[in-house]
Amino acid sequence: MLVIYHFFQKWRFTFLLAFIMLAFEYLTIFGILVLTPIDHTWLGATISNSSDTGVYINYINQASTSPLLQNLFAGPSHVARFDSFWILGGLLMKLGASPILSHEILRILTTIFLAFTIYITARSVTNSSRHTQITSWLILTGVSTGWLYTVYLTVTASWTFGSIVPADLGSEFALSSLLLGGAHMILSPALLMLNTRWIWQIITGSKFNLVIPWVFIAYHVSFHPYYIPIYGIVSLLAFFYNRKSKPVFNFLIINSAMLPGAIYYFYLILKDSKLREHHLVTNTLPLDPIWMWLIILLPIIIACIWIIQNKTSKHSDDKNWVWAWLASAIICIILPFPWNRKFTEALLPALTILTLPFWLHIYDNLKPKTDLILKISLIVLLSFPFLHLMQSQFALATDPAWNKYFYTSNQTIHAWNILKNESQESIIISTDMYTNLWTPAHAQKNVWIGHNHETPNFMQRFSEFNTWRKTSSAKIFNDFLKENKITHVLAHDKKYTELFNDNWQIIFQEDNISVWKKID
């Protein structure tokens, strides 16, 4: 007990950080649950990665029965893959947790891990306990002003669902939005912060036990291979930066950690044409336009100007690893890699660390003079991304155009339960696109179309899908089902009952929801 007491005493600030992060996550989720429409069920999604959560729940469900995961949005004929992260969710299901609860347990564990990573990172670039704590808060909140744009849209009543969401409020760039994303999205920036620092320090001569960094790097790229180029470039920069000696052994050992993941994903791409043409592999996630980045990075720009003018290195420890991380991310964005937005992950914390002299200078000079009102104002300013995300979540959860990402009718749940007991070779399509998105997670069967990043040739299929679901011609309706080898249809409107030919029989009906099965 004494050991546990000393452990909590040593890391009490980290646990406070974790508690606040978890409070933000679960106050938001509590609000979602409270806002659940009558006769509906929460699907497990939040404002970040909303459309992706169905994929995560699907993977967790699969991992509870097999270590190899199928892409149920791509049809049955493709190579199953091993995922080192979602297998953990499968283990939780084997212990009795539901898929959604398994995901939430993973989110709790990864959030606590992220809190420790933030504190350890802050401690590595500061010289006092108080500055470590302040830096931890700054890493978590980030120092950016993308919210100015959202305030402008609100004041001018010009916000639409197609409006740009600033990167510091809606992408991997900042930590705030990631906290409401998938569990692996919370873990990823933590590993990125740890691993880039370790790679730099190990190759530039610091004495480290190589085992833990090797395992952490190998584990990260096993489920997020996007960061192999980041780690590779950081290791090269570290190798050439070290002028006194060239630690070839450390360089080779660190890079060998990336080989298992690189070889495995290269094998999958070669072996599986569906994965090779996969939207997630070929898709270039868009970056915000330059003018938006100028708004987002306004505080960082001001801090950089101050640092240059004052030529200060005060409060600065060894931040060269952060410079290497930033340089590698920029290089990867410029190079013709897909998924370039992924390379911006956690760069707001990185930029905050690089401009620490400015933020700590403000803290040191204002602290003795700051009155309560100003302290509260500063806290609200830094907390704005979190407040904005909560407010936006509740607004979308009550908006009929968006709440289908978060809830579904109990009748649809009942239909999924029927489909779950059908043949494993089933290929399902629903007349509602949102239902297609969540069907693999709940029915655990293949769908013809669903998640846009998981469905091969999504745009072509989406066009065909819209033509099919809007048709009033029984011939067009049934020819589509035959050509695409659909075995089950989950219909959301009674008008479709008149379109099925004699090769189909109804196996479930409740209100407007019906399930149709093809007769062999």
509 backbone φψ class: left, alpha, beta (φ>0; ψ -120 to 50): beta
What are the tens digits of pLDDT across the range 417-455? 999 988 878 899 999 999 999 999 999 999 999 988 888
Of residues 373, 338, 405, the one with CA closest to residue 161: 405
Residue 282 has pLDDT above 60, yes or no: no
Of 279 and 121, which is predicted with more confidence?
A: 121
Distance CA 167, CA 449 (A): 28
- Longest CA–CA span in the chain (Å) reads 82
- Cα-based distances in Å from 470 to 378, 427, 467, 487: 53, 20, 5, 20
Q: What is the CA radius of gyration of the chain?
A: 25
Whether this model's pTM surpasses 0.75: yes
Q: What is the mean pLDDT of residues 332-360?
A: 90
Task: Say how far apart CA 465 and CA 457 lie, in whole Å.
Answer: 12
- Return d(Cα 238, Cα 245) in angstroms, integer: 11
Among 192-196, 309-313, 318-322, which stretch is predicted with the lowest mean pLDDT?
309-313
Beta bridge partners of residue 515, listed in sequence order: 490, 508
Distance CA(480)–CA(495), nearest Å, equals 17
Dihedral sign for Cα atoms in the order 383, 389, 391, 392: positive
Share of the chain above pLDDT 90, in %: 61
pLDDT on residue 315: 44
105 versus 425: which is more confidently predicted?
105
What is the rounded (10 degree) CA torsion for 210, 222, 192, 187?
-110
Alpha-helical segments (H) within 125-258: 129-141, 147-155, 167-170, 175-178, 183-203, 211-223, 228-241, 248-256
Residue 404: how many CA atoms within 13 Å on its side-chain side?
A: 11
How far, in Å, are 135, 199, 210 from residue 240 at the CA level?
Answer: 29, 13, 20
Residue 126 bridge partners (DSSP): none
DSSP-derived secondary structure letter, 432: S
Task: Name which residue leads in pLDDT, 373 or 417.
Answer: 417
Helix/strand/coil for 97? coil
